[in-house]
């Protein structure tokens, strides 16, 4: 653990809990106490955590919808431009606007763009990639991808108060409380 010096700004206070149930209860408590800049960490998504942390519905659906629509109209426009406008070719007497035959390509490109939206939109909403983070300074935090359950209340929070937060976390049954510094 890093020493506290004038260069090192406190990032937040990290507390460890023993199991999903305690984590979810701690999250409820922190949320009910009016904290907003905090986060919980677990090796897998925990059922009911969204309610405990009162998380808003993910905006990802809208991102995907916009991407899907772009794929749909883009593919249609591309085929129209290529086979009707730019170089019309009479292929065995079929009509140029042979829309039923365009469905497969239009469909595939809709799916492709939607999938890009779902993946890269998720990265965007989560602020990933972010290879460096103050929490990675904690040796104990490595457990989060194995069997560790953590809460971190950040100094950013308007009502952050060092002692109060420590007390709250202790009261919630944290097994290990650690101060995390920016480097």
Partner 1 sequence: MSKTYEYVPEPALVKGNHDFKDITAMVTDINMRPTPTAWYIAFGISNILLLLLLVSIAYLFWEGTGIWGLNQPVGWGWAIINFVWWVGIGHAGTLISAILFLFRQGWRTAINRFAEAMTIFAVMCAGIFPAIHVGRIWVIYWVFPIPNSMAMWPNFNSPLLWDVFAVSTYFTVSFLFWYVGLIPDLATLRDRIKSKFGKLIYGTFALGWRGSNRHWWNYEKSYMLLAGLATPLVLSVHTIVSFDFAVSLIPGWHTTIFPPYFVAGAVFSGFAMVLTLMIIVRKIYKLEDIMTVDHIEKMNIIILVTGSMVGFAYAMEFFIAWYGGVEYEKAIFIIRATGPYAWAYWIMITCNVLSPQFFWSKKLRRHVGFTFFISIVVNIGMWFERFVIAVTSLSTDFLPSSWGYYSPTFWDVVTYIGTFGLFFTFFLLFLRFLPMVAVAELKGVMPQADPHNYDNDGNYVPPVVEIPEPTRKSV
Helix, strand, coil percentages (3-state) for the chain, rounded to 5, are 50, 15, 35
CB of 164 to partner 1, least distance (A): 22
Question: Hey, what are 51's tokens?
Answer: 């309610």
Kindly tell me which of 10 and 78 has the beta carbon lying closer to partner 1: 78
CB of 163 to partner 1, least distance (A): 25
CB of 34 to partner 1, least distance (A): 18
DSSP-assigned states of every residue in 97-152: --HHHHHHHHHHHHHHHHHHHHHHHHHHHHT------GGGG-SGGGGGGTT-EEEE
Kindly tell me which of 114 and 165 has the beta carbon lying closer to partner 1: 114
Kindly tell me which of 52 and 168 has the beta carbon lying closer to partner 1: 52
């Amino acid at each position: 653990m890093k020493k506290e010096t004038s260069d090192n700004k406190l990032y937040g206070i990290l507390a460890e809990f023993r199991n999903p149930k305690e984590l979810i209860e701690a999250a409820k408590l922190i949320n009910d106490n009016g904290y907003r800049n905090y986060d919980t960490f677990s090796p897998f998504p925990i059922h009911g955590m969204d309610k405990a942390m009162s998380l808003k519905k993910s905006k990802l659906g809208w991102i995907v919808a916009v991407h899907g629509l772009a794929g749909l109209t883009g593919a249609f426009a591309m085929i129209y431009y290529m086979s009707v406008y730019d170089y019309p070719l009479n292929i065995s007497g079929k009509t140029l606007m042979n829309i039923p035959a365009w469905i497969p390509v239009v469909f595939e490109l809709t799916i492709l763009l939607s999938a890009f939206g779902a993946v890269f939109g998720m990265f965007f909403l989560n602020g990933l990639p972010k290879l460096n983070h103050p929490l990675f300074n904690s040796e104990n935090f490595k457990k989060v991808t194995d069997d560790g359950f953590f809460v971190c209340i950040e100094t950013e929070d308007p009502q952050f108060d060092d002692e109060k937060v420590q007390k709250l976390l202790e009261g919630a049954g944290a097994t290990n409380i650690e101060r995390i510094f920016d480097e």
